[in-house]
Amino acid sequence: MNRRDLLASAMGMAALAVISVPSAQAVTLADKALNVPAGTDVQPVAIQKKQVEEKYKRRVVRLSTSETPGTIIVDTNNKFLYFVEGKNRATRYGIGVGRDGFGWSGVVKVGRKAEWPTWTPPAEMRRREAAKGRILPAVQMGGEDNPLGARALYLYQGGRDTIFRIHGTNQPWTIGLNMSSGCIRMMNKDVEHLYARADIGTKVIVVGPGNKQGNVSFNDRGIDILRTIFGG
């Protein structure tokens, strides 16, 4: 075989290698539809619904509010959660919220936190889903296929669990939508980021149906360009 034939053969083998890799990956994703790495937004092609809209990606913003640093403000109307950091400073996260009839409002506190939390569906939810032909487990241990995702912040009022949580999700395409039973959903990487900053006792103001949050003033004045570029 001359040099020209050797070169052509090598190029052909390289092309086959490039073509075969994506095919092998596609098969792997299809075979492992729920085996998604922790803390990532990547979903198998077979179950991925859509990409999260750009506006719901985590951003540092200029937020005017009278609330003290460390407060969480949940704007269910616009699908944003703010972690107040100081004067005109906040981190904004995109969220998924309660579907029609499951929205709520109020002032609560973070009463408990958990990593890779166990999911215990309320009895009412189990009955409701059973009527639709879907049997929910009484308890589901934490993991990549758990609806609560990577982290959960349990919301309490008057020292009692409200049954509502701020938690991650194994369905990141639901961010920006009204699809939950009242809990606040975040992308796993975002809830991990918030979890590390919000302590037990953190004040959480949920702005939504019924206006039970009372008077709360906040004005999102957009992305903080300087902090985005230089950090801090």
Question: Any idea which residues carry the catalytic annotation?
Answer: 167, 183
Q: What is the dihedral of CA 123, 207, 149, 155, to 10 degrees?
A: -60
What is the token pair recorded at 227?
A: 């902090």
Check: CB of residue 187 under 8 Å from CB of residue 174: no
Cα separation of 194 and 152, whole Å? 10
